[in-house]
Structure 1
């Protein structure tokens, strides 16, 4: 199993001085943990998903340095190479590192796969991005139709962004 605590510490150290990015990947990690467990992922697949959540945006700084952009395609391109040594230090096997690299390299490609761990990573990232970007309910509804596949993810999306706010 990948040592997630060590991996989180390595990711925080890599993104030192960039609290916004650390906050983002930690929130995506939390949603992946909840969604994956609620959707019944096996222990190893859950471990891989959580590791991918911690590193899904790890290529942003390299993308900005090399391409002058943090755009999704550049994150996907640069992320796997940045993630590889961190995964090795956290004890990932070659097979685990390969799966995580694929998840990182496709996490902005909504139609890349129907793999459950992949779908959960997309959903968790959207749940966080919708809040951080203050997306309007219409955009969230469209994403619910086009991106979300899991019952738990759809429920979170509905309750967080599509229901009328509670007013005391």
Structure 2
């Protein structure tokens, strides 16, 4: 797949307003599900921080942040349709509601929406990672899932070796979980 990154980022004030609209819309989308709201807020926070630490270009940073907010938008549909929140089902069911939500926030560029939907449709796929936004979304989601799932140090180390590729993500994982480098 050809990687599509917006050629021109939104200015910071414009992006901040749109990001907050997306945050509010996603909180409303998951209303009554505090666990999932807490999850995406944590993933968003890690993704935004890691992207800044990696020095992402503005357009890529903006895409990463919006994708992190929306990454699990397909969980409810996956549970309803397949009786499971498994990653493969989230990837199938997430892009359509994400696109609808993003299109309701005026002014988000179409190429950014396409990339966000691609990331949502692949956020549990660890091969053929085609960009820093994709890599950092995987890493940020894992930082949260590792805690929520109570993973062992051995599982953390194995995942780090197989999936983590960025210096900031690896340092964050090691620091949070006290892993040896």
Q: Spell out structure 1 runs of 4+ moving beyond 3 A.
A: none
Asked if residue 48 in structure 1 is aligned to residue 60 in structure 2, the reply is: no
TM-score (norm 1): 0.94
1:100 correspondence with 2:116: yes
CA deviations over 1:22-48 (Å, ceiling 9, x no partner) = 000000000001000000111111111
SS in 2 for 1:106: coil
Once the two structures are TM-superposed, the CA of residue 94 in structure 1 deviates from its matched residue by 1.3
Residue 148 of structure 1 corresponds to which residue in structure 2?
164
In structure 2, the partner of 1:27 is: 42
Whether contact under 8 Å (2:74, 2:91) holds in the other structure is yes
TM superposition score normalised by structure 2: 0.88
Distance 2:163 2:144 in 1: 14
Cα-Cα RMSD: 1.1
Structure 2: segments with no counterpart, 5+ residues? 1-9
Q: 1:131: which partner in 2?
A: 147
Are the counterparts in 2 of residues 80 and 101 from structure 1 also a CA contact under 8 Å? yes
Return 15-24 or 112-121, whichever deviates more.
112-121
Matched, 1:4 2:19: yes
70-79 or 107-116, which deviates more: 107-116
Asked whether the 8 Å contact 1:127–1:157 carries over to 2, the reply is yes
Equivalent position to 2:75, from 60, 83, 88: 60
Query: How many residue pairs get matched?
Result: 164
* Unmatched tracts of structure 1, length 5 or more: none
**1:114, distance to aligned residue in structure 2 (A):** 3.8
> In 2, Cα distance between the equivalents of 1:60 and 1:22?
12
Out of 88-97 and 31-40, give the one that drifted further: 88-97
